[in-house]
């Protein structure tokens, strides 16, 4: 069914992921989970792509991003994912943002001794609940999200500062819980570098770290007049933070036979508070480097093109990487087929329409569009067969009208 025209230079269709009401734009909703492990009610901020009554998306499922310090980063991360997924750079993803109730308690991997000025006594006394919080995520939050929302098995964890420390602890202790991790300017100095020392003693070549991805963003927290060379000669609280992150980076880069796909960047022009947005941007580009499928104009116009088989091979690889069935967007493939007919590239258009039937055999629309293709190449019998298949799935007036016209001639 030809329901839109696409520009050849932009084959991918993006759908608005927000819902609009009277005088408002809504990008997500508030949910709540009662935690027996934490002994408290926890608020959640949830974004689900394409949420609404449109039946096209009713059966779609999505990987999930779990976002620490959720109220601080929810809108920016949702915005990035909307932009990336709308341009086929990353998959569409659900975002589960977790606001804090007791940040120091939940995000610190161990109970630290008081060490002013970085760890005053009050902060130390509240610390050390990270393992309990990780248990809450594993045993309560993830099962609740999987039960309540349309999730695929792929999961990502993102955290900043103490949240970045928690991300690093989760990767070390429970690598099977998430598939990818973005740690932004993490507090690896915490508790005399206890977590960093644990990494140094860990065999990252173990099978449990296989196929895990980690991106480490490092902000510029240097004192004036200091650079990344001179800082390594300095000691004390003013350099412990950035030194510990560089030590973490060097350790992970130097770990022989590490199973973890590791990337990092030092953001010389970004502070601790400005680094989250750009680190998340670069982290997603790094982790989903395999996802995007580019189609050049030459790929379409070349008579010997193998672009359809290349696309099939690409999405087979993407499915293997993500751990669930992945395929090109139905409407995008549909639009490409119609555009190719307008360019009088009938054979290639047919390949795209037939590929859509292979990927979406339960969709009436792909058979209706295939019928339009057969009308274009004047194959009446095949057109009738396609429209009949479309109507067998869903009785719709467009297919029926075309079928009746064909049978009456």
Q: What is the pLDDT of residue 2?
A: 46
370 & 247 share domain = no
**Which of 271, 287, 303 is at the close of a domain?**
287
User: What is the rounded CA–CA span in Å between residue 365 and residue 207?
Assistant: 44
Question: Domain count of the chain?
Answer: 2
- Tell me, yes or no, whether 305 lies in a domain: no
Q: What is the pLDDT of residue 236?
A: 65
Reported as type and span, the H/E element at residue 3 is: none
pLDDT in tens, the chain (409 residues): 543 333 333 333 333 444 545 678 889 999 999 999 999 999 999 999 987 555 555 678 999 999 999 999 999 999 999 999 988 899 999 999 999 999 999 999 899 998 888 888 989 899 999 999 999 999 999 999 999 999 999 999 999 999 999 999 999 999 999 999 999 999 999 999 999 999 999 999 999 999 999 999 999 998 777 777 777 776 766 689 999 999 999 999 998 789 999 999 999 999 999 999 999 999 999 999 999 998 888 888 888 899 999 999 999 999 999 999 999 989 989 999 999 999 999 999 999 999 999 999 999 999 999 999 999 999 999 999 999 999 999 999 999 999 999 999 8
- Tell me, yes or no, whether 302 lies in a domain: no
Contact 24, 355 (CB under 8 A): no
Q: Is the dihedral of CA 146, 148, 150, 156 positive or negative?
A: negative
125 & 255 share domain = yes
- Tell me, yes or no, whether 99 lies in a domain: yes
Angle (CA) 385-386-389 rounded to 5° is 90
The gap from C-alpha 297 to its chain's centroid, in whole angstroms, comes to 28
> The domain that contains 93 carries what CATH number?
3.40.50.1820
Neighbours of 338 (CB within 10 A): 22
247 & 377 share domain = no
Q: What is the pLDDT of residue 24?
A: 82
Joined together, the tokens standing for residue 60 give 């779609």
Q: What is the pLDDT of residue 374?
A: 97
User: What is the rounded CA–CA span in Å between residue 279 and residue 286?
Assistant: 10
- Tell me, yes or no, whether 298 lies in a domain: no
Q: What is the pLDDT of residue 8?
A: 36
154 & 277 share domain = yes
The gap from C-alpha 24 to its chain's centroid, in whole angstroms, comes to 26
What distances in angstroms separate CA 304 from CA 8, 293, 298, 329, one per listed residue? 19, 19, 11, 24
Q: What is the pLDDT of residue 9?
A: 31
**Which of 287, 304, 337 is at the close of a domain?**
287
- Tell me, yes or no, whether 169 lies in a domain: yes
Range of the domain at 33: 19-287
345 & 252 share domain = no
268 & 391 share domain = no
> The domain that contains 368 carries what CATH number?
1.25.40.10
- Tell me, yes or no, whether 188 lies in a domain: yes
Q: Is the dihedral of CA 272, 277, 278, 282 positive or negative?
A: positive
- Tell me, yes or no, whether 9 lies in a domain: no
96 & 215 share domain = yes
């Amino acid at each position: 069914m030809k329901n839109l025209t696409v520009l050849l230079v932009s084959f991918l269709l993006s759908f608005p992921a927000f819902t609009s009401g009277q005088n408002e734009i809504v990008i997500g909703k508030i949910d709540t989970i009662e935690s027996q492990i934490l002994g408290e009610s926890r608020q959640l901020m949830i974004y689900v792509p394409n949420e609404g009554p449109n039946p096209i998306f009713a059966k779609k499922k999505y990987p999930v991003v779990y976002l620490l310090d959720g109220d601080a980063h929810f809108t920016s991360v949702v915005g990035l994912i909307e932009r990336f997924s709308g341009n086929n750079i990353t998959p569409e993803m659900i975002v589960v943002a977790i606001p804090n109730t007791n940040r120091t308690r939940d995000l610190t991997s161990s109970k630290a001794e008081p060490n002013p000025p970085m760890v005053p006594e009050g902060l130390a006394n509240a610390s050390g609940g990270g393992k309990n919080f990780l248990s809450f995520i594993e045993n309560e939050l993830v099962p609740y999200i999987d039960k309540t929302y349309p999730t695929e098995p792929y999961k990502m964890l993102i955290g900043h500062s103490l949240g970045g420390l928690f991300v690093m602890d989760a990767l070390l202790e429970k690598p099977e819980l998430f598939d990818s991790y973005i740690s932004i300017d993490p507090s690896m100095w915490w508790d005399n570098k206890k977590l960093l020392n644990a990494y140094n003693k860990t065999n990252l070549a173990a099978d449990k770290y296989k196929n895990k991805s980690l991106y480490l963003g490092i902000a510029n927290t240097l004192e004036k007049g200091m650079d990344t060379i001179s800082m390594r000669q300095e000691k004390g609280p003013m350099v412990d933070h950035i030194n510990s992150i560089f030590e973490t980076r060097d350790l992970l880069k130097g770990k022989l036979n590490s199973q973890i796909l590791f990337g990092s960047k030092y953001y010389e022009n970004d502070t601790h508070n400005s680094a989250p947005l750009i680190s998340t941007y670069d982290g997603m580009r790094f982790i989903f480097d395999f996802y995007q499928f580019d189609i050049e104009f030459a790929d379409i116009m070349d008579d010997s093109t193998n672009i359809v088989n290349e696309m099939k091979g690409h999405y087979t690889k993407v499915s293997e990487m993500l751990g669930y069935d992945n395929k090109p967007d139905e409407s995008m493939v549909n639009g490409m087929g119609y555009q190719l007919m307008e360019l009088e590239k009938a054979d290639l258009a047919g390949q795209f329409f037939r590929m859509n039937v292979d990927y979406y055999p339960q969709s009436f629309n792909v058979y209706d569009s295939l019928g339009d293709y057969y009308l274009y190449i004047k194959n009446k019998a095949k057109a009738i067969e396609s429209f009949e298949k479309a109507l067998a799935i869903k009785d719709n007036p467009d297919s029926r009208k075309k079928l009746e016209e064909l049978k009456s001639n």
